[in-house]
Structure 1
Amino acid sequence: MAPPRAEIRDGINAQEHLVPLLLPEGSQLRNRYQVSKVLDASPLRNIYLVQDLHLRGNTWVAKQMLPVGAEGVNTRALRRRYEQEARAISSMEHPAIPRLLDYFFKDQCFYLIREYVPGTDLQTLLAFEGGNFSESDALRLTQPIAELLGFLLRKKTGPAIFRELSLSSLIITPDGQIKLVDLGFTRLFGKANTLGPVDYAAPEQFSGEAADGRTLVYNLGAILYHLISGFNPGDSPFNLDPLDFWAPETSPATIKIVEKALQHEPGSRFSSPEEMVKHMKKARVSLQKRKSKTRKTESDTQPLAEAFPVSAWLAAALTLVFLGVGCYTLYEILFQGMGG
């Protein structure tokens, strides 16, 4: 029987007894990377915006990590494993993975220097949109995440690394692309059974069973459920209301995708993220056909969300999130842009 999620969280908190020393602004790493801003600080890792003093004008992100129980670990062995992981990530070429530029060890901490990705994390954008997305936007956003997970699974990294998969680690760029910015090293910086954020975790991740592509399918289904319904699966683990309870207008195709992905038994789910992507593509095509048919039978006055392209809608919303502009202004700008 899987332990309650509260117990999992308590176990995680109990491990967070060591905190990496926060670097002050202006400090330098390797006489090359100068800290200009602290982006995030939390137990076990800090994230900074840094300026490259060798390549002037270039801004990167530095991730500082401290191993759990660092006082008693075999530092030499851990460094070897860290370097192996870093080399593996740096060799990955995928549009959703920011480039890993450098990695090193300093003062008992490991550092990653990666590409800076401008944008807004999915958690912030979800809140800006009122807590949930339209079915169309949710599918559009989740599909590239599924494609990325399929890629990582083929690289033999998916299930282990994605114990940290969360909306806050997924960045949407101003042009509507998805980027995963918190990739890696869970196995090195947490105990073997550490889950990290558990909102989208599958049942087998609580019991310590082997994870595979079907585990990632559950993670994806939980994310899609959250984006459409506005209800966080972590608030009622493995006891979720049907998707159409929260979003009655959801198409049957999407409801079936979510239901199959969230099956408790791995064998009842899609076999892989790739298989799930195929069904998501079909659902998007079906949804678009349904919308096109609806437009033909409606009057010339059509809903804004249908009149305005999804990608442009997201880009406009992202821009206004950056600027801190309210929803009323968003509608006003979109109508002006349509000549209304």
Structure 2
Amino acid sequence: MQGNSKDLVGTTLGTCTLEKLIGKGGMGAVYLAHQQRPARQVAVKVLHSYLGGNDGELSQEFLARFRREADVVARLEHMNIMPLYEYGEQDGLAYLVMPYLTGGSLSERLKQQGSLPLSDAVSYMDQAASALDYAHAQGVIHRDLKPANFLLHADGRLVLTDFGIARLINDAAPGTTLTRTGVTLGTPDYMAPEMALGEAIDYRADIYELGVVLYTLLSGHVPFTGSSSLAVITRHLRETLPLLHQTRPEIPPGVDAVIQKATAKDRTQRYSSVRDMARALHAAIEQPNSYQAQREEAIPTVVRPAIAPTILSNTPHSGIGTYDATPTTQAQAMTYEPPTMRSSETPAFLPPPPPYTPQKQSAWWRIPLIVICAVALVLTGVITGTQLFKNSAVTSVTATPNTQPTQTSGSNKTPTVAPTATSNAKPTTAPTQPPSPATGNVPTGQLLYSATNPGPACDTGSGTWVIYNSANVNCQSNGTQVTNTATARTLQGIFLTALPGKNYPNDYVLEANVQQSQNSNSSFGLYFRNQPGNQQGTYTFLIEPDGSWQAAVYDNTTGVPKVISQGTFGDIHATIKLAVVVKGSQFNFYANGKALGSVSDATYAGGTAGLAVDQGGTITVSNFALYATA
């Protein structure tokens, strides 16, 4: 094999001529190259020659593993994972051909800006979580997450690179563990403790490293430094990461709680998936004052033994990731069973909240307060009596919704406009309830399923999605775009029709972030309790073009809707977290955590959930979640 120090500029590997050295790492060098067929600029990563050893037989074994691992990486098709155009071996060199991205890396951005804004870091974490969840579901783990491996596409999208063949270092020769001469698997600044200790590695090593990456993006520096790799990794084994909000007060303490849990020394105390970590990060930002909840999610400090001096070399190097399918020994097998993550121990890294001390006040205010309460009680009685009288006179609700379903041949429900809304069903209706201060947050139980990007091909989980009524669905970096292409007033959308490994519950809490495109003005929102097969029954919770909201039930035979609850809303083009709590015959509707209203209707006892958009509308949907009811 050729020496790894040789400058390969001008060398032709396959159809690629290497033009410029653009990067070096512990596993190889990256060149800007010109590919002849098809003609384009590409990036070519050439693996260091020592990875194959000096023994001819060992080199053949290395190349066989290289082909196997590269085949696996080539099958990873995700918008946030660097695709592999081709790979090969020539003149004793193994190489990979990938797209050449011009947007730089997060490492370069940190050098230019220092720390990143919290909103940017969260966006990158969402995209990284989507990529890693997909890879983990395929049995692939990375093992070398760091800002330098997060590249930026010209369109601003995050692209995770260096998946696939770092395990070749471990497997290159009998008896090797974490390192060979001058080679480190992973980067000490970000390395999970179990990697340094030579333990079996699974997807939770990626969760640890992603937590360190998040810390680095928000602080502008790695959490631990030292005179050598040994000193750095020893601190990873024994110390918890510093708290960001102590030096950056604008960072919510809950963000620190997320980082601490992700980087727990004991891997069983980390999040059960990177998706759960991303969800917790959003919750920490959206509810920055829920201090007690942050403490409950925190994990205790776990001190690991000091690392043996022979484990690491003194020079940190870069890897390309790893694939852990078809392990040859039990120690290499990837265990993908989510552990129980919550600890009952008191966390050591967050101080207790300060005690509440009420201020002393004089008693002058008591008299006007009593008067106000008395007036409020009288008004409440009058209003309640009036409302009861109105309800006794109402025999059915005949409001006409903006969107109504009718059946087309061979399709499921096709909501369209009808002049009058009458239903064969006889729901029990209740008046819209005003928002209550006690319902500022949506009550949820255990998470049943979630998707950062919902919909067929976009969701990286194992849920079953279907496109309803020919909607146009596009997977994007910030969510799933759903466009209604109908030429008449007809609802289209997507449905989550099955959950992985569990039955669909009758009662659930449905939640999703939805934003309508600025150039569309249509109804959009949530489906719930959709009836199976060609039946036309369903419920909808829609935001209307006039800034109101309404809930409707659709007749199972005729597809004609009936409005069962409605009210005012607001800006129809803002990002809205819509939620509906479906429990028995009672439905409660929320927007951005605020209660909009509730209604009782017993038409359908169960059914699936989805997302809806009316004619001409385009919505972007993210963070779809289905919970058990509280």
TM over 0.5: yes
Larger helix share, 1 or 2: 1
Residue 51 (structure 1) shift? 1.2
Secondary structure at 2:259 match in 1: helix
Secondary structure at 2:77 match in 1: coil
Aligned-residue sequence identity (percent) comes to: 27
Secondary structure at 2:96 match in 1: strand
Does 2:151 align with 1:168? Answer: no
Residue 204 (structure 1) shift? 1.4
Deviations 1:240-266 (A, max 9, x none): 322222322211331221121122211
Deviations 1:160-214 (A, max 9, x none): xx23222111112233211123223111145541333121112111111222233
The CA distance in 2 between the partners of 1:265 and 1:99, in whole Å, is: 33
The CA distance in 2 between the partners of 1:92 and 1:179, in whole Å, is: 12
The CA distance in 2 between the partners of 1:20 and 1:133, in whole Å, is: 35
Does 2:110 align with 1:126? Answer: yes
Q: What is the aligned partner in structure 2 of residue 302 from structure 1?
A: none
Aligned residues: 265
Secondary structure at 1:50 match in 2: strand
CA 99–193 in structure 1, closer or farther in 2 if over 3 Å, else same: same
Deviations 1:265-290 (A, max 9, x none): 11222122121122123335447xxx
Contact 2:190 2:213 in 1 (8 A): yes
Max Rg structure: 2
CA 212–228 in structure 1, closer or farther in 2 if over 3 Å, else same: same
The CA distance in 1 between the partners of 2:29 and 2:221, in whole Å, is: 29
Q: What is the aligned partner in structure 1 of residue 126 from structure 2?
A: 143
Amino acid at match of 1:23: L
Give runs of aligned pairs for residues 303-322 of structure 1, distance below 5 A.
none
**Moved runs in structure 1, 4+ residues, more than 6 A?**
none
The CA distance in 1 between the partners of 2:257 and 2:85, in whole Å, is: 41
Does 2:42 align with 1:60? Answer: yes
The CA distance in 1 between the partners of 2:169 and 2:267, in whole Å, is: 27
Give runs of aligned pairs for residues 33-48 of structure 1, distance below 5 A.
33-42=16-25, 44-48=27-31
Q: What is the aligned partner in structure 1 of residue 259 from structure 2?
A: 258
Unaligned stretches of 5+ in structure 2? Answer: 171-175, 180-184, 226-231, 289-477, 479-630
> In the alignment, which of 61, 81, 98 is matched to residue 82 of structure 2?
98
Give runs of aligned pairs for residues 188-267 of structure 1, distance below 5 A.
188-189=168-169, 191-194=176-179, 195-235=185-225, 237-238=235-236, 239=239, 240-267=241-268
The CA distance in 1 between the partners of 2:219 and 2:25, in whole Å, is: 29
CA 241–43 in structure 1, closer or farther in 2 if over 3 Å, else same: closer
Q: What is the aligned partner in structure 2 of residue 274 from structure 1?
A: 275
> In the alignment, which of 144, 157, 165 is matched to residue 177 of structure 1?
157
Deviations 1:56-75 (A, max 9, x none): 3x111111113436202522
Contact 1:22 1:46 in 2 (8 A): no
Q: What is the aligned partner in structure 2 of residue 338 from structure 1?
A: none
> In the alignment, which of 22, 38, 62 is matched to residue 7 of structure 2?
22
Q: What is the aligned partner in structure 1 of residue 365 from structure 2?
A: none
Amino acid at match of 1:172: L
The CA distance in 2 between the partners of 1:35 and 1:209, in whole Å, is: 38
Q: What is the aligned partner in structure 2 of residue 83 from structure 1?
A: 67
The CA distance in 2 between the partners of 1:268 and 1:41, in whole Å, is: 35
Moved more, 237-246 or 104-113: 237-246
Residue 43 (structure 1) shift? 5.2
Amino acid at match of 1:269: R
CA 171–76 in structure 1, closer or farther in 2 if over 3 Å, else same: same
Deviations 1:36-90 (A, max 9, x none): 222124554121111122323x111111113436202522222221111111111
Contact 1:20 1:44 in 2 (8 A): no
Contact 1:33 1:50 in 2 (8 A): yes
The CA distance in 2 between the partners of 1:249 and 1:42, in whole Å, is: 35
Larger strand share, 1 or 2: 2
The CA distance in 2 between the partners of 1:95 and 1:38, in whole Å, is: 26
Unaligned stretches of 5+ in structure 1? Answer: 1-17, 288-310, 312-340
TM-score of the pair, normalised by structure 2: 0.40
Give runs of aligned pairs for residues 282-321 of structure 1, distance below 5 A.
282-286=283-287
CA 214–107 in structure 1, closer or farther in 2 if over 3 Å, else same: same
Contact 2:143 2:206 in 1 (8 A): no
Amino acid at match of 1:54: R
- The CA RMSD over aligned residues, in Å, is 2.3
The CA distance in 1 between the partners of 2:199 and 2:78, in whole Å, is: 29
The CA distance in 2 between the partners of 1:268 and 1:201, in whole Å, is: 17
Q: What is the aligned partner in structure 1 of residue 510 from structure 2?
A: none
The CA distance in 1 between the partners of 2:12 and 2:204, in whole Å, is: 43
Q: What is the aligned partner in structure 2 of residue 324 from structure 1?
A: none
Secondary structure at 1:212 match in 2: coil
Q: What is the aligned partner in structure 1 of residue 553 from structure 2?
A: none
CA 215–41 in structure 1, closer or farther in 2 if over 3 Å, else same: closer
Structure with the bigger RCO (C-alpha within 8 Å, sep 6+) is 1
CA 49–132 in structure 1, closer or farther in 2 if over 3 Å, else same: same
The CA distance in 2 between the partners of 1:196 and 1:215, in whole Å, is: 11
Moved more, 136-145 or 217-226: 136-145
Contact 2:223 2:242 in 1 (8 A): no
Deviations 1:17-41 (A, max 9, x none): x62532123x3223x2122222124
Secondary structure at 1:68 match in 2: helix
Contact 1:61 1:115 in 2 (8 A): yes
Contact 1:199 1:234 in 2 (8 A): yes
The CA distance in 1 between the partners of 2:98 and 2:249, in whole Å, is: 42
Q: What is the aligned partner in structure 1 of residue 546 from structure 2?
A: none
